[in-house]
Amino acid sequence: MMLITDTTSRNLWIAMCVFLLMTFIIPNWLGFLTTVALAKGLVVLGLAMLMRTGLVSFGQGLYYCLGGYVVGIAGTQLGITDVIILLAITIISAIMISLLLGLLLCRYREIFFAMLTMAFSMILYGILVKSEVLGSTDGFNIEPASLMGWHPAIESLGTWVYMFTVVLTFLILQCIHRYFKSPLGFTGKAIRENEIRVEYLGISPKKVILLKYVIAAVLASVGGALTAMVAGHVDPEMAFWTTSGEFVFIALLGGITHVAAPIVGAIIFEIIRTFAFDLAPYSWQMILGAALLLIIFFLPNGLWSLLPAQRNGGQL
């Protein structure tokens, strides 16, 4: 076998530069849309990690919402607005909660895993809806973000969050790309295909699943935090099951075979949604549904499968 030269890493750096250069030409609404898409792309990337292991989480909204609310609460209650500190707190809370839930979830597979993840996310939704301090169903507004003592002007805040999101997203993509190629990344697919053999190769599938679940939770929480920063608002809807379903939708749309596929999926999803909403304000979901049907019928492995197959640069 020839080892195919992997150009993914290089392409990701190029794409990052392109996105950064776009800062200066794209209109504000498109910058906003792209930021949200990248943030959601991160959530879906985590979901894709689980799906490659054969597990569909219908509850990534839990961590997406957690990230958003951590940023919101830290800003309004504790006066913390520095993005680095905010992300650190977000990641730590995501790790703690996902470790706890993961210990239970890693025992379950298939529909049981999916339903349990959804249940946990709906519990958070229920709590938030009943919390009047946190604005109940309306949610609340987020303090503008700052970076190391520097507070950008409100008008240009969106642009800075965009640039920050681009850099962060692509750094994460580089890491996850390496991860997909590593033995641990391969073990995901191995578990999906034959858990018994993995056990007899001396590895605990449960521990691997737990680790993946925690990484996916961290990615989802970072996505939620970024979304909160750019939208300036959070509400319990982020933990509602339809939000989690949207992430599954994007994973199917983009595909899960390559690290960049969820990002591409998320961007296309946001574009379709924006235009569908413009085109048919009362029935835009039908357009999304039709798009999903077409994908399932014609591209069961997502849009990424349109690219020439080359075993995805050493990934599986």
Partner 1 sequence: MVTFAGPKKRRSTVVAILETKGLSKTFGAVTAAADINVVINEGEIVGVIGSNGAGKTTFINMVTGYLKPSEGTILYRNRNITGLSPRQITRVGICRSFQIAQLFPELTALENMAIAFRLLENRRLGGFAPLLTEESVNRAIQELKEYGIEEYSDAVVATLPQGVRKLLDIAMALAGQPALLLLDEPTSGVAVDEKFALMDTVMKAVNRTGAATLFVEHDMEIIERYATRVIAFYDGSIIADAPTAEAMVNPDVKEYIIGAELHRQPEESLDNA
- Sites of contact with partner 1 (CB under 8 A): 1, 3, 178-179, 181-187, 189-190, 193-194, 196-204, 314, 316
CB of 177 to partner 1, least distance (A): 10
Q: Name which of 125 and 304 has its Cβ closer to partner 1.
A: 304
Q: Name which of 146 and 187 has its Cβ closer to partner 1.
A: 187
Q: Name which of 194 and 310 has its Cβ closer to partner 1.
A: 194
Q: Name which of 96 and 201 has its Cβ closer to partner 1.
A: 201
* Amino acid at site 37: A
Sign of CA dihedral 288, 315, 9, 213: positive
Please provide the distance, in angstroms rounded to a whole number, between the alpha carbons at the two ends of the chain: 15
CB of 223 to partner 1, least distance (A): 22
CB of 87 to partner 1, least distance (A): 21
Region of 135 (left: φ > 0; alpha: ψ -120 to 50; beta: rest) is left
CB of 193 to partner 1, least distance (A): 4
Rounded to 10 degrees, the C-alpha dihedral 245/248/254/256 comes to 170
CB of 126 to partner 1, least distance (A): 37
The span from the CA of 74 to the CA of 195, in Å, is: 41
Q: Are 249 and 269 in contact (CB under 8 A)?
A: yes
Q: Are 262 and 44 in contact (CB under 8 A)?
A: yes
Q: Name which of 107 and 197 has its Cβ closer to partner 1.
A: 197
Q: Name which of 179 and 284 has its Cβ closer to partner 1.
A: 179
Nearest to 24 by CA among 146, 166, 174: 166
CB of 259 to partner 1, least distance (A): 13
The span from the CA of 193 to the CA of 180, in Å, is: 16
Burial 41-58, CB ≥16 within 10 A → b, else e: bbbbbbbbbbbbbbbbbb
